[in-house]
Structure 1
Amino acid sequence: MTTTPTPRPVPAPVLKELRAVDDAGRPAVSRTDDEGGAPLRCCLRRSAPGETIALVSYAPLRRWAARTGADPGAYDEQGPVFIHAEQCAGPAPDAGLPFTDAHRTLRRYSADGRILGGRLVETPDAFAPALTEAFTDPEVALVHVRAVEYGCFLYEVRRDDRSDPAPEGR
């Protein structure tokens, strides 16, 4: 890895699509988050009480594979993610690695979309070294950070964002 690990939120154009119809083909349903605390994949922070959010189905590897020509085969999956129901400003600049307050799994993928392994990360200070370690393997193209309890996708880190063949705008 040639740069500091950069967490990638769900890209703005994809969010626009998910707010209409999610990756399972269902219309998004918004709701007021009375309690707050939902991990928002659009801005990589937790929701505040009273924000309007939606829980949608998202297929991150499928969308990445469609752009890159990879074929993840059976590794293609979709799952629930929270997003703001309306467009938001995205992540704060230099916010660092989000959602490190609990055990997470770093799932490694090759350029053809196959899982190359994973690692449990248990402490906030272990995230950056674990990502650096993942990218010491030249076969690793991207890493998904996922919740341990349910396996939900939180965000993606790519080998080198500067070489991304089709970067998504915010």
Structure 2
Amino acid sequence: MTSTRTDSPKDTPTDNPTDLPTATAYTPRPIAPETLRRLRETDDAGQPCAPYVDPEGGDPLRCCLRPIAPGERVALVSYAPLRRWAAETGAAPGAYDEQGPVFIHADPCAGPTGERTGYPFSRAGSLRTLRRYDRNGHIVGGRLLRIPRDEEQGFDAAFAEAFADPDVVLVHVRAVEYGCFHFEVRRP
């Protein structure tokens, strides 16, 4: 399967931190480096960043789109992904502007590596919600996905279903258990 780029025309090198080869039809996007820089100072809830060393690891990093390794210095910050996208595109999400906790490296990192293939944080049997947004940043539907054994096929089908609706320009993937934002995919 070949990769399909999902960058919007407004993307800049700062806003699009990776041109990674993937085995997926849709490109999962990490949090952009400039946004990470700001979150490492003050998060989207106005709280200062509070770094710590994670002794166990395993939680998903949104800067690298991989699990935390034991002993890494990280931070749990409040992030408003739709607000950031709206600022970039001029959308007005209104009441749909959510914020919630995400893990990031406490210090600047290189972002995702070219070694990654497939969708991040996908474990067979896990539940994810895929929220669909229109150009105004309003929710126009969604889908609950229990990740199948063939994780890529499950996500690819869910994204294809979402983007079959011409009004959908953005999809957010969230964990059902905690509601945490995992990554976004933009219309190809």
- TM-score where L is the length of structure 1: 0.90
SS at match of 2:40: helix
Cα distance between partner residues in 2 of 1:157 and 1:91:
15
Cα distance between partner residues in 2 of 1:127 and 1:48:
25
Alpha-carbon deviation of 1:95?
Answer: 2.5
**Of 124, 144, 153, which residue of structure 1 is paired with 2:172?**
144
Alpha-carbon deviation of 1:121?
Answer: 1.1
**Of 50, 56, 61, which residue of structure 2 is paired with 1:29?**
50
Equivalent residue, structure 1, for 2:18: none
**Of 112, 116, 122, which residue of structure 2 is paired with 1:100?**
122
Equivalent residue, structure 1, for 2:184: 156
**Of 38, 41, 46, which residue of structure 2 is paired with 1:20?**
41
Cα distance between partner residues in 2 of 1:87 and 1:133:
35
Cα distance between partner residues in 2 of 1:38 and 1:115:
27
**Of 52, 56, 61, which residue of structure 2 is paired with 1:40?**
61
Equivalent residue, structure 2, for 1:167: none
What amino acid is the match of 1:50?
A: G
Cα distance between partner residues in 2 of 1:86 and 1:132:
35
Deviations 1:95-139 (A, max 9, x none): 221111121111100010000111111122411111111111100
Alpha-carbon deviation of 1:52?
Answer: 0.5
Deviations 1:135-162 (A, max 9, x none): 11100000000000121101000002xx
Percent identity between the two aligned chains: 64
**Of 101, 108, 112, which residue of structure 2 is paired with 1:80?**
101
Task: List runs of 5+ in structure 2 lacking aligned partners.
Answer: 5-24
Task: List runs of 5+ in structure 1 lacking aligned partners.
Answer: 161-170
Question: How many residues are treated as equivalent by the alignment?
Answer: 159
Equivalent residue, structure 1, for 2:146: 122
Determine which structure has greater relative contact order: mean sequence separation of CA pairs < 8 Å that are 6+ residues apart, divided by chain length. 1
- TM-score where L is the length of structure 2: 0.82
Over the aligned positions, Cα root-mean-square deviation in angstroms equals 1.2
Cα distance between partner residues in 2 of 1:146 and 1:47:
18
